[in-house]
Amino acid sequence: MGILLYICKLKLKIYSLLARYPVSYKWPTYWWRKCGYNIGDNSIISPYCLLWGTHHSDTNLLTIEDDVHIGPYSILVLRTHPASDIAKYGKISSTISGSICIKKGSWIGASVTILPNVTIGEGSIVGAGAVVTKNVDSYTIVAGVPAKKIRTLK
């Protein structure tokens, strides 16, 4: 069992590297699918996007539905740690992990960071450089650090 786990981890690292440094804009989407993540049809994950805190068992934590566009240098954080751990103990003693769901037809701008336990609603737009800490309603434009509602599209 140990060698299979090692091979699985190695395969995930290789696929992740190939997704991060692509030759074509279609490569990241292809390699993320090969890693086992749920990515819908006609979705585009731009070059240099990063899945932060991934583990070989985290493939069910990320769902990207159809017609989603994710801009370059965006970071999807599936696992992190609370800042209070370092302040109190000087080390990391616990982790926060959660799912990210990006619904159909959403656009994620360049250099966006999406934290765990966030759902981006259908047809929403996230402005470049935003840090999304909370759920985004459907057909909403959000931007800023932290991301705040700019307006509703419908």
Question: Are the CB atoms for 104 and 89 separated by under 8 Å?
Answer: no
Sequence-distant (6+) residues with CB within 8 A of 134 are: 118, 146, 147
DSSP structure string for 88-118: HHSS----EE--EEE-TT-EE-TT-EE-SSE
Model pTM above 0.85: no
For domain 2-152, the question of CATH label 1.10.8.60 is answered with no
Q: What is the pLDDT of residue 133?
A: 94
- Residuewise pLDDT in 10s, the chain (154 residues): 577 677 767 777 776 666 565 555 666 677 777 777 888 888 888 888 887 766 655 667 889 999 999 998 999 988 776 666 555 665 656 677 788 999 999 999 999 999 989 999 999 999 999 999 999 999 999 999 999 999 998 7
CA triplet 70, 118, 44: central angle to 5 degrees? Answer: 15
- Would you state the pLDDT for residue 143? 97
Give me the catalytic one of 55, 56, 69, 81: 81
What pLDDT shows up at residue 105? 95
The radius of gyration computed from the CA coordinates of the chain, to the nearest angstrom, equals 16
Is 81 an active-site residue? yes
The confidence score (pLDDT) of residue 62 equals: 86
Tell me what pLDDT residue 147 has. Answer: 95
Q: What are phi and psi of 13, to 5 degrees?
A: -65, -40
